[in-house]
């Protein structure tokens, strides 16, 4: 069939943009990856040990978690059928939200379809035109999306720079009725933690609401309760967002907050109101995983111990989380390093702009409780062989 002139122009545009991405070594492809136990994955039938998955506790492959998911399908079905405000709020949701609020020591919790949906939905409900958002410059893309949707005025402070944040608040806070301060508990690409105690102090001083995205801290820091507990500020952060798709091993996102805030979000958060509810199996799996996190301190502590072993052997700085980046600079260098590791049996995806700032392409190593010490030891040998650390 002959293409119309309109379709041809669209294809030409797409091809030109793809060529530009290829030239900058920034083209991405979706590759079929079969995950298995003990951080084993298969790509094109090749067996690799993955050091780039966010399944920090291996709970997505845990027998009890999988059984919990399978057991509810017969009773509740495989899908929610509608949004939570229509018929998609199956009975398992209440159980999960009660657990989350208890873990985070808040009055209530609200589960969204994903962490991304949570972050694009929360901010526009709480602030808007005439309000101010102050955020760390390295927050996740989903948080940027929520800020843009809110149409609030926004100022970004230098990464983890309390002095710069204080300066912005001194200059800007009095001009606006409401102010939301946003950061991450653990930054997903750098693995470092936010200075939460000092940010809480600024929140008190300038009467601003602090929101933390703790997607990469929940389940692995603070005895599994997250970065706020790890940093000793439990109870001082009114808006605690997290995900169920990383350490918890299932799917979904959540916010733990006061009951009035949660009730407002139920009424106004577009990414909750207009999204189909989570499958019952995902909610049941999350409940089972949270039970394991609460009971098994050794499991929770393991990812940090694995990251520490890796860093000690390579002479790297003490890790602040199970995420350890090796910054290589240009995108092509990160791709070459990733390919070199794959040839020795390790999967470590190259992280490139625009996910990270220009000139900071990297390998991002993530450590799981399921990693064998022998695999970590072998990984460090290959990293040195490739000249990735000096």
pLDDT digits (tens, 9 = 90+) for 356-373: 999 999 999 999 999 999
Q: Are residues 70 and 192 in the same domain?
A: yes
What share of residues in the chain are helix, strand, coil (percent, to 5)? 45, 15, 35
Q: How far apart are CA 347 and CA 34, in angstroms?
A: 12
256-276 average pLDDT score: 98
Instruction: Give pLDDT, residue 362.
Output: 95
Which entry of 216, 225, 320, 333 is annotated as an active-site residue? 216
Q: Could you confirm whether 371 is annotated as catalytic?
A: no
Which entry of 90, 104, 225, 246 is annotated as an active-site residue? 246
Residues 60-86: pLDDT tens digits? Answer: 999 999 999 999 999 999 999 999 999
CA angle 164–128–235, rounded 5-degree value: 60
Q: How far apart are CA 65 and CA 282, in angstroms?
A: 10
Which entry of 131, 213, 230, 231 is annotated as an active-site residue? 213
Q: Is the pLDDT of residue 137 over 80?
A: yes
Relative orientation angle of helices 115-126 and 259-268, to the nearest 10 degrees: 100
Q: Could you confirm whether 54 is annotated as catalytic?
A: yes
Q: Could you confirm whether 216 is annotated as catalytic?
A: yes
Which entry of 97, 136, 184, 192 is annotated as an active-site residue? 184
What string of DSSP letters covers 136-171? Answer: ETT--HHHHHHHHHHT-EEEEEPTT-HHHHHHHHHH
Residue 373: give its domain's CATH number: 3.90.1150.10
Q: Is residue 4 part of a domain?
A: no
Contacts of residue 61, Cβ cutoff 8 Å, sequence gap at least 6 = 35, 36, 37, 55, 249, 370
Domain of 356, in residue numbers: 25-56+322-385
Q: Are residues 343 and 215 in the same domain?
A: no
Q: Are residues 67 and 135 in the same domain?
A: yes
Q: How many domains does the chain have?
A: 2
Q: Are residues 107 and 241 in the same domain?
A: yes
Q: Could you confirm whether 246 is annotated as catalytic?
A: yes
Which entry of 54, 89, 105, 291 is annotated as an active-site residue? 54
Q: Is residue 328 part of a domain?
A: yes
Q: Are residues 73 and 52 in the same domain?
A: no
2 pLDDT band, cuts 50/70/90, is low
Q: How far apart are CA 41 and CA 48, in angstroms?
A: 5
Contacts of residue 198, Cβ cutoff 8 Å, sequence gap at least 6 = 162
Residues 97-124: pLDDT tens digits? Answer: 999 999 999 999 999 999 999 999 999 9
Q: Is the pLDDT of residue 161 over 70?
A: yes
Q: How far apart are CA 28 and CA 23, in angstroms?
A: 12
**Closest C-alpha among 249, 246, 245, 240 to residue 288:** 249
Tokens standing for residue 236: 């001082």
Q: Is residue 359 part of a domain?
A: yes
Least confident range from 26-40, 132-146, 227-241: namely 26-40
263-269 average pLDDT score: 98
Which entry of 90, 140, 225, 333 is annotated as an active-site residue? 140
Q: Could you confirm whether 184 is annotated as catalytic?
A: yes
Residue 80: give its domain's CATH number: 3.40.640.10
Q: Is residue 159 part of a domain?
A: yes
139-153 average pLDDT score: 97
Q: Are residues 280 and 377 in the same domain?
A: no
């Amino acid at each position: 069939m002959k293409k119309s002139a309109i379709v041809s122009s669209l294809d030409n545009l797409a091809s030109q943009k793809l060529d530009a991405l290829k030239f900058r070594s920034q083209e991405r492809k979706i590759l079929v990856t079969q995950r298995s136990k003990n951080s084993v994955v298969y790509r094109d039938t090749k067996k690799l040990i993955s050091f780039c998955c966010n399944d920090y506790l291996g709970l997505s492959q845990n027998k009890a978690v999988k059984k919990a998911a399978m057991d509810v399908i017969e009773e509740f079905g495989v899908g929610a059928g509608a949004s939570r405000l229509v018929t998609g709020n199956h009975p398992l949701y209440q159980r999960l939200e009660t657990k989350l609020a208890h873990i985070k020591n808040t009055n209530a919790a609200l589960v969204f379809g994903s962490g991304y949906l949570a972050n694009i939905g929360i901010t526009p409900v709480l602030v808007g035109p005439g309000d101010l958002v102050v955020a760390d410059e390295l927050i996740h893309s989903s948080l940027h999306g929520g800020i843009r949707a809110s149409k609030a005025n926004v100022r970004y402070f230098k990464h983890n720079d309390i002095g710069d944040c204080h300066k912005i608040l001194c200059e800007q806070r009095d001009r606006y009725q409401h102010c939301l301060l946003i950061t991450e508990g653990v930054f997903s690409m750098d693995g470092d933690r936010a200075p939460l105690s000092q940010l809480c102090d600024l929140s008190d001083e300038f009467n601003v609401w602090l929101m933390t995205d703790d997607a990469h801290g929940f389940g692995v820091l603070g005895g599994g309760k997250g970065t706020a507990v790890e940093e000793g500020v439990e109870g001082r952060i009114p808006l605690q967002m997290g995900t169920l798709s990383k350490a918890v091993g299932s799917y979904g996102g959540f916010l733990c907050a006061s009951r009035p805030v949660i009730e407002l979000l139920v009424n106004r958060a577009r990414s909750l109101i207009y999204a189909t509810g989570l499958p019952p199996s995902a909610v049941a799996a999350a409940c089972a995983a949270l039970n394991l996190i609460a009971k098994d301190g050794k499991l929770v502590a393991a990812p940090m111990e694995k990251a520490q072993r890796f860093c000690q052997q390579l002479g790297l700085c003490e890790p602040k989380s199970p995420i350890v980046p090796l910054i290589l600079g240009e995108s092509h260098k990160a791709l070459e390093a990733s390919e070199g590791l794959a040839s020795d049996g390790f999967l470590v995806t190259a992280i490139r702009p625009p996910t990270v700032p220009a000139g900071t392409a990297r390998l991002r190593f993530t450590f799981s409780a399921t990693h064998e010490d022998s695999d970590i030891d072998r990984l460090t040998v290959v990293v040195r062989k490739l000249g990735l650390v000096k």
